Structures are given as C-alpha cells and as structure tokens.
Amino acid sequence: LLLDEPLSNLDARLRLEMRDEIRRLHSELKLTTVYVTHDQKEALSLANRMAVLKGGVVEQLADPRTVYRRPSSRFVADFIGEANWLEGEIVRADADAAVIRTGLGEFASTPRAGLRPSMPVWLGIRPEALHAGGAELNGFDAELHQTNYLGEIEEYVLQAGGTTFKCFVQNPELALAAGTRLKVSVRPDDLLVLPR
C-alpha cells in the first residue's frame, strides 16, 4: 500500500484520529505500507522503519528511535526534530566515553564508533534533553532571554557563550522572568556527536 501525504489536508484532531486508524489497519491487515510524509511526528509515530531522503538519496534507514536519538548526519538530526548545535573537537575517545571540547567547556558523551582525537564534530543537544537546574556533568550557565508557554511544555530561549539554546520544560509550574540565570545540563547518552 502506498500512501502519499494522506493526512495533509485534515485538521489537527482528525489527523491524530486517522493516524491511529491507519496504525490499526496496518496491524490488522499486515500489509507492507510505504507512507510518504514531511510531518516528523507522523513519521515517528507510524513507522516500523523510516528512511530520511535528501535529494533523492537515503541519508538514513532505521527504526524511528534510532533515527531520532542517533541520527547519521546533521541533516537527519535537523530534519527529524530540533537541536541546539555547538562546534567541537574530540579530546578523548575510548571504550568508556568520548570527551568533546567546545566553546562552553568539555562535554562527556557515551562512546561512539568512528570518533578519534582532534576530530572536528558537531555537538547536538535536543531541547527536551537540556535540563534546567542541571547537574555538574555536562553543565553550563545560561541566561533566560524569553519564554514561550505552550501548555504541556514551556520553551526557554537561553543564551550561553554567544549561542542561543532552546530548552523544553515539561509541565512547568512557575513562570521565570527574562534575565534569570540558570544552570543547565545534558546527560551523556543524550548528546548527538556528528562529524563536522
């Protein structure tokens, strides 16, 4: 079954209902289905395996969780979500960790294949992986410039070392004022480390 942007003309609520219906039909009928979409959440929620194309060439083919958490390139990472990016260089890469030097200091990542000392890399941090009030490991100081309240999440726009970061706070209780200083951090496993 080939479906090419089947939900593109539906309102948001109907899209969600139809997404569930397509998933149910696929499971029930056991049909091989190719589903073409530019809606990342639609792709992530429906796919068993997904292919990200750039100029007609497959950039990455994997299960949705792998594509999102371990993208093969910066293009894939940006296409299938948001990320904050820092230029970095590998300081150390071994079986225990990879250490990346950036303008904001050093970050420790879980080990990744293909990394070697002095290699220039992009260090990516998804907004939902950046924790306000964070730990010392992979932590840095930032200043809150703007907040966007979206109900279930609040988007913080932060400045640190001349770089703008987005941080998503789940189920926010308090409104913070612009100019508030925050310590933010990211877990080693949540870092995206990609060749530059």
Arithmetic mean of pLDDT, 70-99? 94
Identify the residue with better confidence: 130 or 135: 130
> Tens of pLDDT along 41-50?
899 999 999 9
Whether residue 112 is predicted with pLDDT greater than 90 in this model: the reply is no
Whether residue 135 is predicted with pLDDT greater than 80 in this model: the reply is no
Q: Say how many C-beta atoms besides its own lie within 10 A of residue 173's C-beta.
A: 6
The alpha carbon dihedral of 146, 183, 135, 114 has a sign of: positive
Whether residue 173 is predicted with pLDDT greater than 80 in this model: the reply is no
Integer Cα distance of 110 and 102 in angstroms: 16
pLDDT of res. 171? 81
Whether residue 176 is predicted with pLDDT greater than 90 in this model: the reply is no
Whether residue 70 is predicted with pLDDT greater than 90 in this model: the reply is yes
Whether residue 142 is predicted with pLDDT greater than 90 in this model: the reply is yes
Integer Cα distance of 37 and 48 in angstroms: 14
Integer Cα distance of 179 and 167 in angstroms: 15
